[in-house]
Copies of this chain bind each other. A is one copy, B any other.
Amino acid sequence: MTHLFTIAHQSCGDCQIRFRAVCSRCTEVELAQLDAIKFYRSYAAGQSVVLAGARLEFLGSVVTGVAALSQTLDDGRRQMVGLLQPSDFVGRPGRPVAVFDVEAVSDLVLCCFRMKPFEAMMASTPHLAERLLEMTLDELDAAREWMLLLGRKTAREKIATLLAILARRASLLGRPNVRGLVAFDLPLTREAMADYLGLTLETVSRQMSALRKDGVIVLSGTRRVTVPDFARLVARTGDDSLAEALPAPKRA
């Protein structure tokens, strides 16, 4: 259950995250170089990738699955500070010791590079550093958006915001859906949601129930969420920066 294994080598050309990950700007030649130094690692849901303070000998990209970046206070209070999805980058060049815990939330596959060769390649490959800068700036913006949520939003708004983000993501990437109706599976347990939103799991559960009673969401089992009217969900997020890029109701 908690075992870790290395999976078969896969060609970069066929990779699902080829056009969004840190390697997305690389030429074929550069890709071949990366190919030579990369390896895959796989983690079962719940397994730790690295603990804060421990050495992290590699950098990598999430290929499939979801990972959580989090921090824990001495007395056990825990805050998730990032939810890493496919194409997101793990680790920091030049820093061999992790400052956050990284944990597989679902089953997880990472495309990894040993730190030294990757750094060497970054120095000689502007495409890599450029893309990493861009991704880091995006992460920084996202972290700042999340600070607004953590500092100022109510429990209800926090839940609605998370659901809206997941719904939008599902609708942009996902399978075509009838009308404005979006459905997706929560990648997180109630406890993980609480850690992410700065709440307790009881509050998460209550607010989910409240949104269900209000008809804003429909729950099938505990993980499957259907959003009958995205605009109504967004109306409960407390801000409308989510309203842009509404999932297109006229999708084929």
Contacts and interface: CB of A to CB of B under 8 A. Distances in A.
Interface string A137-175: 101110111111011110000000000000000000000
Q: Number of contact residues on A: which range applies?
A: 35 or more
Contact of A238 (B73, B82, B132, B148): B73
Nearest to A78: B152
Interface string A195-210: 0011000000000000
A143 B71 CA distance: 12
Contacts of A28: none
A198 B150 contact: yes
A74 interface: yes
A191 B218 CA distance: 40
A100 interface: yes
A144 B81 contact: yes
Nearest to A196: B151
Interface of A: 69, 71, 73-75, 77-79, 81-82, 92, 94, 99-100, 126, 129-130, 132-134, 136-137, 139-141, 143-148, 150-153, 197-198, 238-240
